């Protein structure tokens, strides 16, 4: 059985003491300042001088900022998180130049997620305990699962979400064995009424995590809107709203992880549709439901898990008429409307719209695997 070495991140929650929380808060602030200032310098250099600033140039600027009396407080945190945020900015520009994302945006306190990345020389890992640079005590980590035996962390990322929860993501190298070859292949059609419909006829109901907590969320947001700007009560109300959002996100992520793991374990080939979610959420009537479904995250989970375990994920072109084509005779019915859930072809076959689409996606995916055509490039 073939094995491969992969880089895998394990995420845990931890509880800092008051001293650690204060030090992390200062680190988050310095990271945000360096990122925003470097982004401003790169934007200015391009708009005014038509000159690109590289990562090496921004690293030299960071050294100058530390020596500046007005920003000498940048020397307080460890150097690792400040250099890491410059790398993250460079990666954001690389994606922008490849037209994968929009132009990098500034980080705003309270709006963007606070995080700091520590490289191997900026933390210690001994006897299952992690101590960050410039901290006197190890972090109180709740080990919900153990790290792989003999794994040595290469970097850690600590973060604080808007709900005030602290998490640490530990990156390790792990040897993963490919799963035994499976004879099964699956077509997956995404939807809203049914979250996913498979070519086997199975339908995964949509949990609608956001809708389940919508009443609680509306109440919390209504209370927040009545609080005075900048008051302590507004900060408490904002935290209640953030906790509801965090609860929704946790349930959604857990459900998608379980479903994606199951599909990768059971099927050798998984064919999905390449959806333009960014354009679809412009529909104001469906934007909330589409965002709650989180199709893009599910596809990402499928892709990286398939790469780990020797499976294949194929994305069929988004303009492929999977819903309008008869999976029996191949005739395309252009008269099908969006609200039509069942239709009958001239050949006599009666189709469930979603199951028929999943079968067509599977057929197109297998054709792509055999011929190598009709598929969009991987997002990576």
Helix (H, G, I), strand (E, B) or coil at 210: helix
DSSP lists the bridge partners of residue 168 as: 12, 158
**β 342-344/3-14 pair status:** unpaired
122-132 burial by CB neighbour count: b if 16+ within 10 A, else e?
bbebeeeebeb
Task: Evaluate whether 22 touches 76 at the Cβ level (below 8 Å).
Answer: no
Cα–Cα nearest to 259, from 190, 213, 310: 190
Task: Evaluate whether 316 touches 271 at the Cβ level (below 8 Å).
Answer: yes
- Is 273 an active-site residue? yes
86: Cβ contacts below 8 Å, ≥ 6 apart:
34, 35, 38, 55, 58, 59, 62
Catalytic residue among 114, 210, 273, 292: 273
- Is 189 an active-site residue? yes
CA distance 74 to 66: 6
Catalytic residue among 114, 189, 210, 292: 189
Cα–Cα nearest to 40, from 94, 110, 88, 107: 107
Catalytic residues: 189, 273, 354
């Amino acid at each position: 059985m073939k094995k491969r070495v992969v880089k895998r991140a394990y995420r845990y929650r931890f509880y800092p003491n008051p001293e650690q929380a204060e030090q992390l808060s200062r680190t988050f602030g310095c990271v945000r300042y360096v990122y925003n200032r470097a982004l401003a310098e790169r934007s200015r250099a391009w708009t005014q001088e038509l000159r690109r600033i590289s990562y090496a140039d921004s690293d030299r600027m960071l050294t100058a900022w530390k020596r500046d009396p007005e920003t000498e407080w940048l020397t307080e945190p460890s150097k690792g998180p400040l250099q890491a945020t410059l790398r993250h900015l460079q990666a954001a520009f690389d994606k922008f130049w490849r037209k994968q994302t929009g132009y990098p945006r500034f980080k705003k306190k309270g709006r963007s997620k606070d995080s700091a990345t520590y490289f191997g020389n900026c933390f210690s890992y001994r006897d299952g305990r992690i101590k960050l640079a410039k901290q006197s005590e190890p972090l109180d980590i709740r080990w919900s699962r153990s790290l792989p035996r003999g794994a040595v962390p290469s970097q850690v990322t600590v973060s604080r979400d808007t709900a005030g929860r602290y998490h640490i993501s530990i990156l390790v190298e792990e040897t993963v064995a490919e799963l035994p070859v499976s004879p099964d292949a699956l077509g997956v059609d995404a939807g809203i009424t049914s979250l996913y419909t498979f070519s086997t006829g199975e339908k995964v109901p949509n949990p609608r995590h956001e809708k389940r907590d919508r009443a609680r969320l509306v109440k919390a947001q209504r209370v927040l809107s009545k609080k005075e700007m900048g008051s302590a009560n507004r900060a408490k109300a904002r935290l209640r709203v953030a906790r509801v959002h965090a609860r929704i996100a946790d349930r959604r992520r857990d459900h998608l992880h379980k479903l994606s793991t199951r599909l990768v374990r059971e099927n050798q080939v998984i064919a999905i549709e390449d959806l333009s979610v960014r354009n679809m959420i412009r529909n104001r009537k469906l934007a909330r439901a589409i965002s709650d479904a989180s199709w893009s995250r599910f596809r990402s989970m499928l892709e990286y898990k398939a790469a780990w375990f020797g499976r294949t994920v194929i994305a069929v072109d988004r303009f492929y008429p999977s819903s309008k084509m008869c999976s029996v005779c191949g005739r395309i019915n252009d008269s099908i409307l969006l609200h039509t859930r069942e239709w009958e072809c001239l050949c006599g076959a009666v189709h469930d719209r979603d199951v028929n689409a999943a079968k067509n996606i599977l057929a197109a995916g297998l054709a792509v695997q055999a011929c190598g055509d009709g598929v969009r490039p991987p997002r990576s």
